[in-house]
Structure 1
């Protein structure tokens, strides 16, 4: 079994972006495009540094990437631009934490939000580990002790319908309430330990939110909903949020943010792939096994007094299991 950690780096190009920027990508496109761009940049940097064209048929393993194969079609060998940590986790691309400078200004000048997506094929029993791992990567990336808001997105949830009343009604039967409540203590623990000042949920309609609030010890202060197909917040949800002091925020994230097929395509040998995974037909070119996306965390750093995004990016965790 091999653990993979994928990262985009800071995707805010050309300086901070105004929050109210129109036409923002839905997160699945933003995530996949940003990952692919970061992989390509890492490959190009390594090729330039090591003159990889002259050794394109070598296997190089200077960074401990193991049995990753050589470059294909002039692509830099994966062993040159990926790396393993002390636990054996494979970072795609590798990260030199010593050269991360974190935020440009004092921590107090920022609002930092992390949104954690638990993915549908990942075991519920491991969510405590995933949550801590994801948040640790964000804090390490930004060089901060905590985030201001941690929002949790559970699989199988949406907020869609022909009208706001239908969306709220459908939402009541979505997801798995027992699994969500069983996961929440792990999130509460991160709050108690000071790693997340406030907690939030995503895609909870009025019935699900009411049931959740009745059993949660540390209550969420934010509920994020996607009104893509509904122009209004359902009145029952608006009323409940007002009574319970919960902020309703609108988002445009995709709930199915990193499907298994998409991840395999990103890491595979095809056009636009990173060349990490072996060709499924020949078994040549890289790592083999069954690939399972586990979690994704999105982080956004906003400069409080200027209302701009200074830093934004993603980490994703996956597992490659040997099928032999």
Structure 2
């Protein structure tokens, strides 16, 4: 394993510039199961945080077999969210501090990402759920969709996605009329910002859907997207629901041709990710602002999006692989 800054930073003779953003890949979750002991579960039963913790240990822990440099990370110049995303392996390095460039800390190093082991006769299907975090005013969510899909391809080799779902941290309906309208502004944003239309026009996304939409949320989406229109209607609504689904939602989904599915995905608290980065701060090139803001008791990062991918061998009923990809920015 190895760690590196981009060539321009290391060859210019200048002090390497700290990262502005970070991308963290967690791979092989099904092949490297998390140890769910009771004590750990009581402290933090969050699958994403456990997966990130495990990925950081794998990338950053000292080797015990004489492999030399143990840290697997890279700081690369990457396009800003307003520019067209490119594959990590194709990134061009530049000493310029252009506004079109971000300095992205990638963990592990891109060259050490591995595709899932699939046989020649396997017929895999890949499902992806992308959940946005934080306010939308200062970011380009359409660019985030493209960026996330490119990272999925980098991690899995898949360009086509069988099922692509979108969600928001502010939209987590779990039943009860009292919260039916909570997060309605996020649904309005999905329509008015052009994000839904952008997803619909991507031929690589075979089926598109949403996550944790209440009857009101789903009705808003269906009412604003006529059947057989150019923006496709949602075909899936995933819900974290422990009770019987309300009849209103069942009827609405049936009439709209929406499949209702269950999930048990966790919300990802930025404090948890921030705490994990602090744990490995001596092995990562974090910006000085990270420690300074934490010392003041202020947030040091902004979580932008979290993506979960699952590769299913449907003919055998097996999950071949599962992983998470996280995108965050460091505060100044």
**TM-score for both structures, normalised by structure 2:** 0.72
Contact 2:190 2:196 in 1 (8 A): no
- Separation in structure 1 between the aligned mates of residue 153 and residue 45 of structure 2, nearest angstrom: 22
What residue number does 2:10 align with?
A: none
What residue number does 1:174 align with?
A: 183
1:82 paired with 2:94, answer: no
1:157 paired with 2:171, answer: yes
Alignment equivalent of 1:197, drawn from 195, 206, 209: 206
What residue number does 2:237 align with?
A: 223
Contact 1:139 1:147 in 2 (8 A): no
Alignment equivalent of 1:120, drawn from 134, 141, 160: 134
- Cα displacement string for residues 60-102 of structure 1 (whole angstroms, at most 9, x for unaligned residues): xxxxxxxxxxxxxxxx5xxx421123423210222216x6344
SS where residue 59 of structure 2 aligns?
helix
Runs (5+) with no aligned partner, structure 2 = 1-18, 34-40, 79-102, 226-230
| Aligned pairs (5 A) from 1:184-263 | 185-216=194-225, 217-228=231-242, 231-254=243-266, 256-257=267-268, 259-263=269-273
Contact 2:171 2:182 in 1 (8 A): no
- Separation in structure 2 between the aligned mates of residue 107 and residue 196 of structure 1, nearest angstrom: 23
- Separation in structure 2 between the aligned mates of residue 281 and residue 144 of structure 1, nearest angstrom: 40
SS where residue 140 of structure 2 aligns?
helix
Cα 1:264/1:273, change in 2 over 3 Å: farther
Alignment equivalent of 1:34, drawn from 29, 44, 51: 51
Alignment equivalent of 1:143, drawn from 141, 157, 162: 157
Bigger drift between 36-45 and 112-121 goes to 36-45
Cα 1:280/1:186, change in 2 over 3 Å: same
1:280 paired with 2:286, answer: no
1:317 paired with 2:327, answer: yes
Deviation at 1:9, TM superposition (A): 1.3
Deviation at 1:145, TM superposition (A): 1.7
SS where residue 244 of structure 2 aligns?
coil
Cα 1:44/1:202, change in 2 over 3 Å: same
The Cα RMSD (Å) is 3.3
Contact 1:268 1:275 in 2 (8 A): no
Deviation at 1:186, TM superposition (A): 2.9
- Cα displacement string for residues 261-285 of structure 1 (whole angstroms, at most 9, x for unaligned residues): 1121010147x9965545736999x
Alignment equivalent of 1:7, drawn from 3, 20, 25: 25
- Separation in structure 1 between the aligned mates of residue 192 and residue 63 of structure 2, nearest angstrom: 44
Runs (5+) with no aligned partner, structure 1 = 16-23, 53-75
